[in-house]
Structure 1
C-alpha cells in the first residue's frame, strides 16, 4: 500500500516517510490526531515483529516510583484481571521477547513475536496494562511489587518486603552498581537524574499508595507516549487496533514531563561515597576513583558517535593510552570507561578500580597530563583508525547484549525522540561516520579531548570508598528502626499490619479463577510450527581438517570459529588454559607490541576472541569435551588479514612480558569480581554443579569462583610465581594449538567460505601436527554444600542434582515440567510470596537439574520451597487450556530467533554434543504431546533430586552465619 504525507490512517496522521538504509527499513512517523501520541514504524522483511510503548517518566525522588510502577502495571488490568497477565504470557505465548525496562527518565514496554496472531494478543495485554492497570483498586499490588510492612503474627519481628525493594538491595550491593548510580547524580545534581529511578532501598519505603496512583495518572497517558513498531506486520491493521481498542478512548492532555538540563558547573565537584565490604576484608586497594564529564547533548548525533569512539580509544582498546598511563603509574589494578548517552546530557567517565583514596590527586594529575600530552603530540593514527573501524563494525552488525535488531532500534530511537528530536537520528550513522573519518585526519579527536575533558568544568571527581561491615551495620540499623516503629504502635495498628499482611498473602496464594485466566488471549497448538527450525550445516574438509559450514546471509561478514582440543592439558593446569584465553591477543607477538597488535586487529576485523569452554555429551555429563576457542569476524575483503593475525597470535605470542602479564592478571581479577556480583545466581548454580558433575567441575574451574581464587593467588604472589606462570602458559599454548583435533566452523555465504578456504592453509601449515594424548580428568562427587559469603544484602540460593544419574531419561516433557515449575510454583512461592527478584530452573539434556533464586531476601525458606515443589506438582490440576499455555510457552523458549552467528554457534555445539535434527524433532513431539498426567508423574524426579541434598548459596555473610547448619563449608568470596 502507498502512504501519503499528511493523510490520516486509522486516526494516525503520517508526518514523514523515508528509506533508512542503515536498518533496511521504510520509516514512517505518525501522530495520533486525537491524543497526540507519537508512533514510529520501521517496515521491513524481518518476521520477528516488535512493538513497544514508552513513557517519559521523570523520577521525583529516590523512592523508585517509575521502577515499581513498571512492575505493577503488569499485575492485572481492566480486560485481563488475572494477578499477573505478564506471567500468563510467559506461560502461553510465542513471544521472542517479553519485558519492561526502567531508565533514568523513561519506562519502556517492549515485546516481540514472529507469529501475527500472538503479536496482536501480547500487544493487547500490554496496552491494557499500561492504560488500565488494577493498581488503583488493589493496594496489595504496590505492597507486593514495591514494599510493605510484613508481620504475619503480632509477636514476630516487623520487616520490609517487596520485589523491587529486594531487587534494589541487590543492585546496591555491587560497588559498580553504586558507582554508576552516583556518577549520574554527581554531575546532574539539580535535575531529575539526581533521583534514583530504580529506587534506593532506604527511600523506597517512603512511597505511598496515593503518590503511586498519581504518578500513573499523570504520565501513563497517550499524550505522553512513544509507540514503536518494527518488522513485516500489516501496518494498517496495527494502527487500526491501537487506535480503536485504546487511543480513541482518550483525549489530548497537556502533560508536563519536560526534562530540564543541568546548568554547567563552574568547578569539578568532589564527591565521596562509601560502599560495604566484609568485616574481615582488607580495605587497602579497594577504592574506586572516577572522573566524570557532561558532554554536550544526546541530540548531537555526530558528537554522540564520536564520543563513543573516543571512550573506546582512550580506555577500552588494549592500546588505549589513558588506560596504559594509569596502569603504568601503579595507581590501581583496573581501568575502564563509561559513556552514557541515554540521558539528555551524556556523561563520559574515566574509572580507576582497586585504588586508594589518598591517590585521588595523583589520579587526576595522570589523567590531565596524559590527555594534555595527547593533544599536544597527537593521537596515534592507527589507534584512531582502529577505534573508528571497530565501532563501525558494531554499528553494521546491529547487535547488543543478545537483543534482536528490532529491540535494539526500539531503544535507540528513544535517545533522540524522548528529547523532542528525530527518532531516527541514532539509527542513521553513515553521514556522521564519514564526517568523523574525514575530520579525524585533522586533529578532530584531540579537539574533543580539549573541549570536553581538559577545558570542561562540568564534571565530578567521585571517590567510592570501602567501609568494613557497612552492610551488616545498615541491616541492624534498619531492624532497629523497625523495632522502634513497632514499639510505638498501638495494638490496633499492629493488628492492621497483621491483617494487611494476611490479605496480601491470601491474594498471593489464591489461584486466579478460570474465568479470569480465560481472558488472556491464546493461540491454538495448530498455530505452532510442527517442526523445529533446521540450521543448515555441511561437514567438509580442508587439507585433512574437519570444517563445519553454516550458510547464512551475514552482510558480507565471515564468522570463523576454531575449536582446539584442550583436553591435552593435565588437570592441574586446566586453569592456566583459561588464563591463556584471557591474555592471547593482549600480549605482544614476536613482530608486534601488543598496542600495535590491538590496532591491527581492530583495523582489519570485528574482533578476535579467545576463550575456554566445554560441551557435555548428550545425555551424559560424565563425558565432556574441553575446547579452546578462537572466534573472529571480518568483512570479506579483510578475511586474509584476519587469518594472518590469528596465525601471528597463536604461533608467536610472547609470554615473557612480566609487567604486561601482571597487568592482565589484575584486570582479569577485577572483571571476575564484577561478573560474580552481576550473575550471582549463575555463580551459585555452577558451584553447586561442580559438586556432582564432572562437566560442571571443569566449567567451574575455568569460569567460576575457583578461577577467581586461582587468579587472585597468581596476582598476589606474582613475583614468586612468574617463572612458573610463563612456563605454564607457554606449555599450554604449545600443547593445545595443534592441528590434530581441530574443528573449524565457518558462518557466512559461499563467497566468504571460498576466501577462507583459499587462505586458511597459511594458518594450518604453521600448526603443530604431533599426535595428541587426551588426558582423563577424574572428578569425584563431593557434597561441599558451601555458604559463599559476600558483603551483599541478598542471596542467590541453588539446589539440585543430576536426574539421569538417578535412573531417569531426558524427554521434551521435562521442558514443560520446567515451565510449570518456574512460571507457576516457584514464581509464586519464591518471588511473589518470598520477595526474591527471580527464581529459575536450569535443566539440561546431560542431566543437570538446578533451582536457583536471584536477589533473594531469604535462604532456608527458599530451600524449603524447592524441597516441596514435587508435593505441589504431584497433585496439580491443570485444565486443557492451561496445559496448552504451558506447551506454547515451552515452544516459545525453544524457538527464540537466532542471529547468523548464534546459529553457527548452536550448530557447532550440537555437532560436538552429538545432537541431531531428529533429536530436536522428537523433543518437540514430546513437548506437544505433554499431558497433566505427565507433569504429575515427572514430579517424582524433583523429589529424588532434592532428597540428594546438594545445595549452595551465595549471599550476605550474616545471613549465612545465621543459617550455618545448612552448610558443610564456608567460603569468603572476595579477596
Structure 2
C-alpha cells in the first residue's frame, strides 16, 4: 500500500532560489511510549540506519544525490512515538524515487543483515551514555522526572523509564540474532500507519498569509458594532494596565523564599593540579567519575595564518568523519563507539579575562572512555590526528553539504545567536574571530565552498593537509584530564605512547588583527519573527567587570525585559548578557517587534535609574543570580571549566571576588550599572535578523541589508 501523502509549503524570500529546497520525510508510528524496550530499540535503530557514519540507509540516500543532507528522528515523547527518515535540499518530483529507494534499501538490509559491529557500536554508545548520565547543566533528577512522563502521562509505569537494565539485556540479543531486522520488517517495511510528507518552498508565502490575516481581521472588524469595538478597546487598555502594574508587596510576600543567610559564601573550588608529562603541561582534575576518564587536548591554532582560519571549523567537522590510513570512515565510527564514549573535534576560542582583544583560539580534541580503555582511546585519537586521508572527494562533499544544512537549521532556530555574534563583530576583536569561524560569515563561506565544490576541491585538500600538519604538534599542546586520582597512572602511560607518534616541529604563531566597523545590519530571512540585538563593550568605556553586573542581568531579564519585551511586546524570550570580556548585548527571541524592542533597550537605563527595591526583593534577585552561578556541574563540565579558566587566566581569587560582589550587591550599584548601560546604548550598535519585509519597512534604521539564505 502507498503511504498517505501530505504536501505542505514553507515561505522563502521573493528573490531566493527555489531549487533544491524541498524536504522529503517518511514517517512511521511505532507502538506506544510505555513500551520501554521498543522505545530504546527504536532509538538505537535510528542511530544504526540514519545517524552513524556507517549507517547503511543514510549512505544509500546520500549516494543517490536525492538531497544534500539526510537524517533521522525518533520522538518517543508522545503516546504514539514516530520514526522519521528525512531528506533535505531535494525536489518534490523526486518523492517517488525517495520512497522506492528507501524501501528497496531496507529490503536489502533485511536480506543481508545489519553489520554486527555497527549494532555493537550502537548498543555500546547508548549504554555508555545511560550509565554516564551526563545531562550537562540540567539536574539529573529533573531529567529523570521528565523521562518518567513518557509512560506516566499515558497510564504506564513511571518507574520503568529508569529501569533500563532488563530492556538493554534483551536488546543485546541483537548481537547474535536478527533482532533489529525484525523491527525493520514490522515497523518500517510492513507498517500501514505511515505517511510521506513533502514540504516545498513557496515564494512570498509569508506575505500571502499576512494578507489573509489582514483581510480576515478587517472582515471581523466590519461585522462588529460600535459597542463591540469600544468594549475591545476597553478590554485591551485593561489588559495593558494589568501587564504594566507590579505585583503588590502583600502578594509577593506570600511566595516562600530563601534568605541570604542560606547561601554559601565560598565559591566552589574546581579541582585542578598542574602536572608535567614528557615536558608538556597536564591539568589533572581529581574528581569521582564512575571509572570514566575525560581527556581534552588543546592545540593552539594561532599557527594558522589569518586568511586560512575559516578552514579550521571545516577541519574539525571532517576529523573522525572521513577515512584514515587504517580505517574506512564507517569502521572508524564503529571502533570509536565500541571502545569509547566518543571522540570529537571542535574549533574553540578562549578570551582573556581582562582584555577582549586578547584571545586564545584552540582546536580541542575531546575523548572519553572507561579508564581501562584509555590505550584504545589514545590509539584512535592518534590515528585520526596523524593519518586522516583527504582523498575521498564524495565523502568530503557529503560532510560539507551536511554542515551547511545543519547551519541553516541552526540559523532558523537560534537567530538570536547569529544576531549577537554579528553585533560583537562590530566592536570586538574576539567577537570578530568568533563570527568569522562560527557565525553568518562562516555560513557564507561554507555555502560558497559547497556551491563551487568541484572547482575548489584541489585547493581545499591542499589547505586541509597544511593546517593539519601545523596544528597537531606536541609543541603547542595543553592537556586536561578529568578522572579519579587512582586512574592517573593509566592516563600517563597511554598519553606517553600517544606523544611518541605526534609531530614535533618549530612553530610560528600569528597575531590576528581584524578591521572593525559598525554596520548595524538587517539580516533578511523569510521568518515571521525578529531576533533583535543591541550592545557594546563596557571595558572600551573604561569600566571593569563586577559580579553586580550578573545581578543586573538577572534583574533586567526577570523584571523590565520580562514585562516590556515578553508580556507587553509578545516576544518569546529576552536576554541581558554582561560578559567577563566586557561584551554586552540585550536581545530578543522570536520577537514580533523590531523598532519597539530597540526603543525598549534604549529606555531600560531610565527605568533602572529609579531602582529602589525593598530588602527582601533585592535578596531575591541576588539569590537568583547565585542559582545561576551554582548550576549543577557534571565531572566533565568541572574539568572543562577549570581548564578554560586556566587558559583565560581567571583565578579562583577572581571567582571568589565576583561571588562576593554578587552577594554584596546594592540597589545603588544597580543604578550605577544603569549609567554604564546607557552609555553603551548611546554607542548605537545593533543587529536584527528577521522577516525580510519587516526589516525593509524599517530600512532607515540599518546601515546594510544582508540576505541570509541564497
Query: TM-score, normalised to structure 1's length?
Result: 0.72
Alpha-carbon distance in 2 for matches of 1:895, 1:299: 35
CA contact (8 A) 2:137 2:633 kept: no
- Residue of 669, 673, 679 corresponding to 1:934: 669
Please tell me whether the aligned partners of residues 294 and 345 of structure 1 are also in contact (alpha carbons under 8 angstroms).
Answer: yes
Query: 303, 320, 326: which is aligned to 1:585?
Result: 320
What does 1:10-89 align with in structure 2 at a 5 Å threshold?
none
Q: Indicate whether 1:701 and 2:443 are aligned.
A: no
- Aligned equivalents of 2:493, 2:470: Cα separation in 1: 26
Q: In structure 1, which of residues 928, 931, 945 is the aligned counterpart of residue 680 of structure 2?
A: 945
Match of 2:141 in 1: 406
Matches within 5 A, 1:725-736: 725-736=460-471
> Cα offset for 1:680?
1.1
Residues of 2 paired with 1:382 and 1:891: CA distance? 47
- Counterpart among 117, 125, 144 of residue 382 in structure 1: 117
Q: Which residue of 1 aligns with 2:446?
A: 711
Q: Is this contact kept in 1: 2:137–2:631, CA < 8 A?
A: no
3-state SS of paired residue (1:627): strand
What's 1:919 paired with? 654
Give the aligned partner of residue 474 of structure 1: 209
- Quick check: 1:692–1:780 contact (8 Å CA) kept in 2? no
- The offset of 1:411, in angstroms, is 1.0
Q: Please name the residue that 2:25 is paired with.
A: 290
2:309 is the counterpart of 1:574:
yes
CA distance in 2, matches of 1:434, 1:615: 43
SS of the residue aligned with 1:442?
A: coil
Distance (whole Å) between structure 1 residues aligned to residue 136 and residue 65 of structure 2: 32
CA distance in 2, matches of 1:312, 1:970: 41
* Counterpart Cα distance in 2 of 1:836 and 1:358: 38
CA contact (8 A) 1:276 1:466 kept: yes
Q: Of residues 241, 245, 266 in structure 2, which corresponds to 1:506?
A: 241
1:323-472 map, 5 Å: 323-400=58-135, 402-472=137-207
* Aligned: 1:740 with 2:478: no
> Which of 786, 790, 800 is 2:521 aligned to?
786
Counterpart-to-counterpart distance in 1, 2:671 and 2:191: 66
Determine if the alignment matches structure 1 residue 529 to structure 2 residue 264.
yes
Alignment of 1:80-119 (within 5 A): none
CA distance in 1, matches of 2:308, 2:174: 49
Distance 1:924 1:839, change over 3 A: same
Matched residues in 2 for 1:545 and 1:516: separation? Answer: 60
Residue matched to 2:338: 603
1:302 to 34, 37, 57: 37
The CA deviation at 1:753 is 2.2
How far did 1:716 drift?
0.1
The counterpart of 2:414, out of the listed 679, 684, 694, is: 679
Please give the per-residue CA displacement for 1:732-761, whole angstroms capped at 9, x wherever unaligned.
Answer: 111111111211110111233221111112
User: Within 2, Cα distance between the matches of 1:809 and 1:448?
Assistant: 60
Cα distance between partner residues in 2 of 1:968 and 1:484: 39
* Contact map agreement 1:557 1:752 (CA 8 A) in 2: no
Higher normalized contact order (CA 8 Å, seq sep 6+, divided by chain length): 2
CA displacement, residues 863-894 of structure 1 (integer Å, 9 cap, x when unaligned): 00001111111122212111111111111111
Q: Separation in 2 of the partners of 1:692 and 1:390?
A: 43
Q: Which secondary structure state, in structure 2, belongs to the residue aligned with residue 634 of structure 1?
A: strand
- From 661, 674, 694, give the equivalent of 1:959: 694
* Residue number among 837, 840, 847 corresponding to 2:582 in the alignment: 847
SS in 2 for 1:585: coil
Q: 1:357: Cα distance to partner? A: 0.6
Instruction: State the Cα deviation string for residues 519-560 of structure 1 (Å, max 9, x = none).
Output: 222211110001111111111111011111111111111111
| Contact map agreement 2:573 2:588 (CA 8 A) in 1 | yes
Quote how far apart the aligned CAs of 1:934 are: 1.1
Which runs of 5 or more residues in structure 2 are unaligned?
none
8 A contact 1:688–1:951 mirrored in 2: yes
Residue pair 1:288, 1:465 contacting (<8 A) in 2 also: yes
Residue 835 (structure 1) aligned to one of 570, 582, 596: 570
Gaps of 5+ in 1: 1-265
Asked if 1:274 corresponds to 2:9, the answer is yes
**CA displacement at 1:818 relative to structure 2:** 1.5
SS of the residue aligned with 2:476? coil
SS at match of 1:673: helix
Q: Deviations over 1:573-615 (max 9, x none)?
A: 1110010011100000011111111111111111111010101
**CA drift at 1:368:** 1.0
How is 1:891-930 mapped onto 2 (pairs within 5 angstroms)?
891-930=626-665
Distance of 1:516 and 1:404 partners within structure 2: 30
Residue 297 of structure 2: SS of its match in structure 1? strand
Partner of residue 823, structure 1: 558
Three-state SS of the structure 1 residue aligned to 2:399 is helix
2:52 aligned residue (309, 312, 317): 317
State which of 343, 356, 360 in structure 2 corresponds to 1:625: 360
The match for 1:800 is: 535
Quote the Cα distance in structure 1 between the aligned partners of 2:211 and 2:328. Answer: 53
Which residue does the alignment assign to 2:502? 767
- Equivalent-residue separation in structure 2 for 1:412 and 1:929 (angstroms): 39
For the residues of structure 1 that align with 2:216 and 2:613, how far apart are their CA atoms?
45
Asked if the contact 1:613–1:702 (Cα under 8 Å) also holds between the matched residues in 2, the reply is no
Q: Which has the higher helix share?
A: 2
Aligned partners of 2:452, 2:93: CA distance in 1, in Å?
25
* Structure 1 residue 681: Cα displacement: 1.0
Tell me the distance in 2 between the aligned counterparts of 1:487 and 1:724: 64
* Alpha-carbon distance between aligned partners in 2 of 1:431 and 1:818, rounded to the nearest angstrom: 47
- 1:315–1:336 Cα contact (<8 Å) kept: yes
1:315-349 per-position Cα deviation (integer Å, ceiling 9, x unaligned): 00011000000000010001111111112222111
**Equivalent position SS for 2:447:** helix
The alpha carbon displacement at 1:649 in A equals 0.2
2:544 equivalent in structure 1: 809
Q: Matched residue of 2:681: which SS?
A: helix
SS of 1:692's equivalent in the other structure is coil
**TM-score of the pair, normalised by structure 2:** 0.98
Task: Name the SS of the counterpart of 2:358 in structure 1.
Answer: strand
- The Cα shift of 1:421 comes to 2.0
| Cα deviations by residue, 1:269-298 (Å, 9 ceiling, x for unpaired) | 111111111111111111111111111222
Give how far 1:491 is off: 2.5
3-state DSSP class of the match of 1:897?
coil
1:724 equivalenced with 2:459 (yes/no) = yes
Counterpart of 1:872? 607
Aligned to 1:159: none
* Separation in 2, partners of 1:816, 1:452: 52
Alignment CA distance shift 1:499-1:320 (3 Å)? same
1:611 aligns to what SS in structure 2?
strand
Report the alpha carbon displacement of residue 459 of structure 1 after superposing the two structures with TM: 0.7
Structure 1 residue 662 displacement after superposition: 0.6
Query: What's the offset of the Cα at 1:917?
Result: 1.0
Deviation at 1:449, TM superposition (A): 1.1
Q: Distance in 2 between matches of 1:579 and 1:281?
A: 26
